[in-house]
Amino acid sequence: MHWEYASYIWSAYAAAAVILPAVAVVSIVRLRRALRLQAALEAQVDNLRGGADEA
Amino acid sequence: MKRKTQRMIFVGAGLAILAIAGALAFFAMGDNVRFFYSPGDLRKMTSPPDVSFHLGGLVKPGSVHKDNEMVMRFVLTDGASDVPVVFDQTAHGLVPDLFAEGQGAVAEGRMGADGTFVATRVLAKHDEKYMPPEVADALKRSGEWQRGAPQ
Amino acid sequence: MSGWHRFANPTRFSRLSARILPWALALTIVLFAAGLYLALVGSPPDARQKDTVRIMYIHVPAAWMALSTYVLMAIFSGMGFIWKHPLADIAAKNCAPVGAGFTLLALITGALWGAPMWGTWWEWGDARLTSFLILFFLYLGYIALWQVFEDPEKAARAAAILALVGLINIPVIHFSVQWWNTLHQPASVFRRGGPTIDPAMLWPLFIMLAAFEAYFVSVLLLRIRAEVAEWRVRALQMMQAEA
């Protein structure tokens, strides 16, 4: 690797290495949380429905 | 369906009005959006601006001289008109690495009484051409090296 | 909340996006690996800029993506506005943070290039720099508008109008270097007469652009899926509350 590149160059790549993954990670975390909540709620609703059918 | 068509007309008309407004604003702003004046612009004026302004052009080949270690003189040209520039690097910092004869530069400062532009800052301009050093050398050797005119 | 039922085909979207996403993510990683190698190792320095030219491989794709994401956001906004399709509104809404990220990255890398090359980080009088900063504020304003309104339908309408009005800034950014004299150099790739970048630098640039493009598709799909799931969660919560 060309570690001798000036700090300006590395800073530009560092900015990319922070901003792009940050946006991606936030999006992934949000998706996982929403999917988890959705699954939990769907299970609850199914239970409610099941209970109602039995009654 | 009716509402949908209405909204479509609304968006279409809105974009059309926006385009017209934008075009009008563009023609109204016209020259005020310039980042720098060229030597030719300066010659067309009856008197140079009494404030600090940007002067941009090509650094005339062979025109860069140093009065001493820190005070440098060069000529900015647009091909037709020339303006001599003096720049004291002790007071205002060094010129950027990209600054070179035959290349674009923008100087900030005021017009002196003797017709020399007294720069307080010098910026280098890059052109739209990107090439490896070998290609540049080959172009220079074959004499096809074209010096980019300032845009 | 006029309803979940109007929300016609999120299921179809989820199925389609689930099929595209792994490919888009894999492509993002492969293209970035190749692009970064070419940008940092496998490409020559520039005759005048020397190694600083390597900033271009981040700056230029980021700037292109900032512009194209805005155009896409405006198209989705227009579709949402006219056809009242919530999926279009959601797509537009989720373009904004990604586009704002691209814009910020282009501004930062531009300053990092300008400092050693031009001799300045930022110049207020430059039309290209100023219009690009306006693009950043348009993205921020668009994101803020979505937060201001309680009712998502109203928010979508207000945000769509801002996105469409801001569209005028896109040609201004693109042509600023042609219409006015600027410190920023003119276009090197999308210009009449073909690119003025040596192929040894143009190829790495295109690979990086493809990597940014794949990244954008991945993140946008992830975000839309998340938002669709959040809508579903809200609908389920309302069902529960009513039961």
Q: B67 with B18, same domain? A: no
Q: B70 with B111, same domain? A: yes
Instruction: Measure the CA–CA gap between B19 and C197, rounded to whole angstroms.
Output: 33
Instruction: Measure the CA–CA gap between C150 and C18, rounded to whole angstroms.
Output: 30
DSSP classification of residue B46: S
Count of structural domains, chain B: 2
Show the tokens assigned to B142. 């074959």
Orientation of helix C127-148 relative to helix C86-117, angle to 10° = 150
| Helical segments of B30-132, H only | 39-44, 89-92
Residue B81 clears pLDDT 50, i.e. is over it: yes
Nearest to B26 by CA among C178, C186, C78: C178
ipTM of the complex: 0.91
Give the per-residue pLDDT at B149.
40
Q: B60 with B19, same domain? A: no
Contact B78, B57 (CB under 8 A): yes
Give the per-residue pLDDT at A44.
85
Instruction: Measure the CA–CA gap between B146 and C148, rounded to whole angstroms.
Output: 54
Q: B28 with B76, same domain? A: no
Window 79-98 of B: residues touching C by CB (8 A cutoff) are 93, 95-98
Q: B99 with B111, same domain? A: yes
Nearby residues of C31 by Cβ (< 8 Å), 6 or more positions away: C207, C208, C210, C211, C214
Instruction: Measure the CA–CA gap between C120 and C117, rounded to whole angstroms.
Output: 8
Point out the residue among B11, B35, B93 whose CB comes nearest to the CB of C123: B35
Antiparallel, parallel or unpaired: β B104-111 and B117-124: antiparallel
Give the per-residue pLDDT at C8.
52
| A17 vs C: CB within 8 A | no
Q: B87 with B54, same domain? A: yes
Q: Per-residue pLDDT tens, chain C, 243 aa: give them.
A: 344 444 457 778 888 888 999 999 999 999 999 999 999 999 999 999 999 999 999 999 999 999 999 999 999 999 999 998 889 999 999 999 999 999 999 999 999 999 999 999 999 989 999 999 999 999 999 999 999 888 989 999 999 999 999 999 999 999 999 888 899 999 999 888 889 999 999 999 999 999 999 999 999 999 999 999 998 899 888 888 876
Residue B12 lies in a domain: yes
Q: What is the CATH number of the domain that holds B105?
A: 2.40.50.140
- What does CATH list as the number for C19-242? 1.20.120
Q: B66 with B86, same domain? A: yes
- Radius of gyration, alpha carbons of chain C: 20
Contact C52 A8 (CB under 8 A): yes
Contact C49 B98 (CB under 8 A): yes
Q: B7 with B40, same domain? A: no
The DSSP bridge partners found for residue C46 are: C50
Q: B6 with B61, same domain? A: no
Residue B149 lies in a domain: no
Exposed, middle or buried, B114 (CB in 10 Å: 0-12/13-18/19+)? exposed
What residue spans define the domains of chain C? 19-242
Residue B49 lies in a domain: yes
Grouping H, G, I as helix, E, B as strand and the rest as coil, residue A22 is helix
Mutate to test the interface with A, among C7, C13, C51, C56 (most CBs of A within 10 A): C51
Q: B58 with B19, same domain? A: no
Residue B40 lies in a domain: yes
Residue B102 lies in a domain: yes
Residue B56 lies in a domain: yes
Q: B27 with B65, same domain? A: no
Contact C110, C239 (CB under 8 A): no
Contact B33 C180 (CB under 8 A): yes
Instruction: Measure the CA–CA gap between C221 and C28, rounded to whole angstroms.
Output: 13
| A40 vs C: CB within 8 A | no
Helix, strand, coil abundance in chain B, percent, nearest 5: 35, 25, 40
DSSP classification of residue B4: H
Q: B45 with B27, same domain? A: no
Contact C197 B131 (CB under 8 A): yes
Instruction: Measure the CA–CA gap between C146 and C164, rounded to whole angstroms.
Output: 15
Q: Which residue has the higher pLDDT, B73 or C192?
A: B73
Please give the residue range of the domain that contains residue B8.
2-32
Antiparallel, parallel or unpaired: β B117-124 and B53-59: unpaired
Contact C102, C125 (CB under 8 A): no
Give the tens place of pLDDT for each residue, A1-49.
567 899 999 999 999 999 999 999 999 999 999 999 999 998 888 887 7
Residue B147 lies in a domain: no
Nearby residues of B96 by Cβ (< 8 Å), 6 or more positions away: B122, B123, B124, C116, C117, C118, C119
Instruction: Measure the CA–CA gap between B71 and B55, rounded to whole angstroms.
Output: 18
| Amino acid identity, position B148 | G
The DSSP bridge partners found for residue B123 are: B106
Give the per-residue pLDDT at C242.
79
